[in-house]
Every structure is written in C-alpha cells, then in structure tokens.
C-alpha cells in the first residue's frame, strides 16, 4: 500500500514547486522506474480490495460497488494489454468504507507521475475522480458534509 | 461555455499554457460560485456555494504556485467580464439554471484537467492537478444531487 498522508499534499503545491524546478532527486534517479504494468498492478489491488470488502447494502453503496467492479475490469484489461496479470484479490481490509475510498483517491493521484502512457494517465485520472465522487456521495448518504476539503482529502484544513 | 473552456485547454501548447488555462478556469469558477451565492441560490445551497467559492480560490492558488515554480509570472486575474463571457446570464439565472451552469463549468474543468493529464510534460505537477480535479468531482456530486440527477457518480468521471 502506498503510504500517502494527507499532509503530503504538495503543500498547496509548495513541494511540487521544488519538484518542478529540480526534477527528480538523486535517490529517485538511482532507482529503475516502475513499468506502467507495475503501477497498474498496484492500483488494481486497491480496486479489488474495494470490491471485496463489506460495504453495506444501501443504494449508494451498491452503486459505488458496481462502479468499483467496472474499475477492476478496466484496470485488469489495461494490465493484460501490457503483459501483466491480475493477482488474487487481497484479504479483507478492516478499514471503513470512507477510509478505503480516501486511500483509493490518494493512490490513484500518487500513481500519475509514474505512468508513461498518456492515455493511461487519463484513465487513472477518471478513476481517481470517480473515487473522489464516491466519497462525496457516501458522505451525502450519511448526512455528512460531502466536500470538507478543497483538494479531496489532500489537505487537512478543509473548507474552513 | 463548455466549449469555451475546452478551447482554452486545447489551445495551450506548453505546460505553462495549460497551467494558465487551468488557473483562469478556477478563478472564473470562484467568481461563479460567489455570483450564484449573491443571487440565484438561497439557504443551504447559498452556504455551499460560498464554501465552494473558497475551494476554487484555493485551487487557483495551487495553479499559481505551479506557475511560479516554472518562473511564469501571473499577470492577469479573471474578473467579472470573464465570468459574464463564460457563464452569460448566471447573475440573473434562476436556481436550476444557475446550478446547471455551475455543473457545466465543473465538468468542463474536469475535462480540461484530463487534457493536462494527457499533455503535460512535468508529470509531478499532475498530482496537484488531479487533487484539484478530484475536488471538482466532489463539487459535481453535490450539484447533481441539487439538480435531482438519478446518478450522482460515474464509473469514469470525464466531466461530460
């Protein structure tokens, strides 16, 4: 699992500023970059976990799970097209549904710079947006503030 | 309006051009939510529009920071004339028309962010762009519900 804390949101793009100016750090440059198939395999495991974990039986939860199944299918196909194969779904994740969804947003966004194929980046952005939307829809269904953060959870400050 | 936003992104040939397009759209979106809160929207919807206006200002600030990182000066700031050009009639619109215009603008922005995903060369920047896009996707869920849409989320959120 990619450990991506909310505080790592590019400091309202501050950290990004350094990255844009400096490019990759020496440590990163020394490592072989992952292939698109490697990145897709990691994303697929996250989506599989979303589908296999218990999520309740509300209309919102059913709609979300149906769309997650489609994400799994599309990612599996993209992985297969690049010579990879889907592994077994991970064991049940004890995290709550919103926590899993939030993590899904994080991992899809974090994966973007590691994908070399522009069309794959667009697909992953579309899934990331869908996961963020799921989170808002589930919050609405629970009677919670649907969008507490301007950056879909990447900042803790929220919409103060 | 959607076409106008699309043309802005399509016309951009460089990372800085794409980021300037993104900045302009976020600035106009901030003005649009503020205008909707000043006129067509009432009660909780007005309060939500004010929160979203603040989100859009934060999105714009993130784009500005990325432009600064590329040493690109940000000289122009969207004003009322840009809002009127992109969303003509918003100030005088009724509730439903205002919500539809806001949803259209959010969708067009998401589509533009995905153009950035396909075309930007500074891939690290895509994390911030995608975090902004994910925030927009969450706004779209709220707007769709206010409009009585049967489906609040899409399997692949393209903004369309």
pLDDT digits (tens, 9 = 90+) for B127-158: 999 999 999 999 999 999 999 998 899 999 99
- Is B152 a domain residue? no
Contacts of A144 in chain B (CB under 8 A): none
Residue A62: CATH number of its domain: 1.20.1260.10
- Identify the domain containing residue B120 by its residue range: 2-146
- Identify the domain containing residue A62 by its residue range: 35-141
Q: 3-state class of B1 per DSSP?
A: coil
Q: Is B37 on the interface with A (CB under 8 A)?
A: no
| Closest Cα in chain B to A104 | B134
- Is A108 a domain residue? yes
- Is B120 a domain residue? yes
Tell me: pLDDT of A133 over 60.
yes
- Is A146 a domain residue? no
Q: Which residues contact A86 (CB under 8 A, 6 or more apart)?
A: A41, A44, A48, A76, A79, A80
The separation between the first and the last C-alpha atoms of chain B, rounded to the nearest angstrom, is 13
Out of A67, A128, A130, the one facing B130 most closely (by C-beta) is: A128
Contacts of A125 in chain B (CB under 8 A): 113-114, 117, 126, 130, 133
Out of B61, B63, B114, the one facing A126 most closely (by C-beta) is: B114
Residue B76: CATH number of its domain: 1.20.1260.10
The answer to whether B158 and A130 are in contact (CB under 8 A) is no
pLDDT at res. A78: 95
The answer to whether B127 contacts A123, with C-beta atoms less than 8 Å apart, is no
- Is B159 a domain residue? no
- Which of A28-37, A108-117, B66-75 has the weakest average pLDDT? A28-37
Tell me: pLDDT of A159 over 60.
no
The answer to whether B30 and B135 are in contact (CB under 8 A) is no
- Is A48 a domain residue? yes
Chains A and B: how many Cβ contacts under 8 Å?
169
Average predicted confidence (pLDDT) for chain B: 94
The answer to whether A151 contacts B58, with C-beta atoms less than 8 Å apart, is yes
More confident residue, B155 or A56: B155
The answer to whether B125 contacts A110, with C-beta atoms less than 8 Å apart, is no
- Which of A62-66, A73-77, A125-129 has the weakest average pLDDT? A62-66
Q: 3-state class of B41 per DSSP?
A: coil
Verdict on whether the full-model pTM lies above 0.80: yes
Give me the number of domains chain A comprises: 1
Out of B62, B66, B114, the one facing A20 most closely (by C-beta) is: B66
The answer to whether A136 contacts B70, with C-beta atoms less than 8 Å apart, is no
From A64, A30, A35, select the one nearest A50 (Cα to Cα): A64
Q: 3-state class of B100 per DSSP?
A: helix
For residue B102, give how far its alpha carbon lies from the nearest alpha carbon of chain A (Å): 16
- Is A154 a domain residue? no
- Is B154 a domain residue? no
């Amino acid at each position: 699992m990619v450990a991506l804390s909310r505080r790592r949101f590019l400091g309202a793009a501050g950290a990004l500023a350094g990255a844009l100016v400096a490019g990759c750090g020496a440590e990163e440059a020394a490592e072989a970059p992952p292939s698109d198939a490697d990145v897709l395999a990691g994303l697929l495991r996250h989506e599989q976990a979303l589908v296999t974990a218990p999520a309740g039986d509300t209309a919102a939860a059913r709609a979300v799970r149906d769309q997650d199944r489609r994400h799994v299918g599309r990612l599996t196909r993209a992985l297969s097209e690049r010579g990879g194969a889907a592994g077994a779904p991970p064991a049940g994740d004890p995290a709550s549904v919103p926590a899993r969804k939030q993590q899904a947003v994080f991992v899809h966004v974090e994966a973007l710079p590691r994908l070399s194929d522009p069309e794959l980046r667009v697909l992953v952005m579309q899934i990331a947006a869908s996961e963020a939307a799921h989170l808002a829809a589930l919050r609405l269904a629970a009677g919670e503030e649907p969008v507490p953060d301007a950056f879909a959870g990447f900042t803790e400050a929220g919409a103060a | 309006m959607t076409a106008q936003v699309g043309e802005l992104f399509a016309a951009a040939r460089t990372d800085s051009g794409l980021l300037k397009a993104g900045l302009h759209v976020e600035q106009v979106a901030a003005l649009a939510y503020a205008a909707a809160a000043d006129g067509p929207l009432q009660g909780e919807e007005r309060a939500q529009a004010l929160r979203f206006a603040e989100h859009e200002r934060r999105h714009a600030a993130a784009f500005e920071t990325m432009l600064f990182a590329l040493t690109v000066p940000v000289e122009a700031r969207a004003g009322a004339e840009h809002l009127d050009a992109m969303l003509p009639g918003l100030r005088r619109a009724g509730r439903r028309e205002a919500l539809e215009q806001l949803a259209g603008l959010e969708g067009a922005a998401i589509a533009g962010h995905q153009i950035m995903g396909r075309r930007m060369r500074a891939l690290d920047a895509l994390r911030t762009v995608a975090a902004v896009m994910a925030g927009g996707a969450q706004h779209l869920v709220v707007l769709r519900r206010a409009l009585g849409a049967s489906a609040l989320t899409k399997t692949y959120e393209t903004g369309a």
